[in-house]
Amino acid sequence: MRIVVTGGSGRAGVWAVRDFAEHGHEVINLDGRAPAEPLPGSFIKLDLTDAGEVYDAFVQTQPDAVCHLAANPSPSGFPRQQTFANNVLSTY
């Protein structure tokens, strides 16, 4: 199965990417930043709040499933508009 993990470079995302790959799935990490360490699968850097970029990535990768883990984990440390964009708009 081809699985897209949004936020695959983040704290929870890295574990999801590894686990899916260990279970034989093809994993595509969509994130705004590259992973700190090498991960299995492929990586596409994009802005998850840009619907056009996300659409293009989905057309390119044709995933069977999506695991959406992208978010600001500590919203109080970010400006309100950025938190809304990252935690709400990127989910839409």
Look at the chain and report how many structural domains it folds into: 1
Q: What is the pTM of this model?
A: 0.85
CATH number for the domain that contains residue 77: 3.40.50.720
Residue 30 has pLDDT above 70, yes or no: yes
Instruction: List pLDDT tens digits, range 48-91.
Output: 889 899 999 999 999 999 999 986 666 677 677 766 666 566 66
pLDDT score for 91: 62
Percent helix, strand and coil across the chain, each rounded to 5? 40, 20, 40
- The answer to whether the CB of 16 falls within 8 A of the CB of 41 is no
pLDDT score for 24: 99
User: Residue 42's domain spans which residues?
Assistant: 2-89
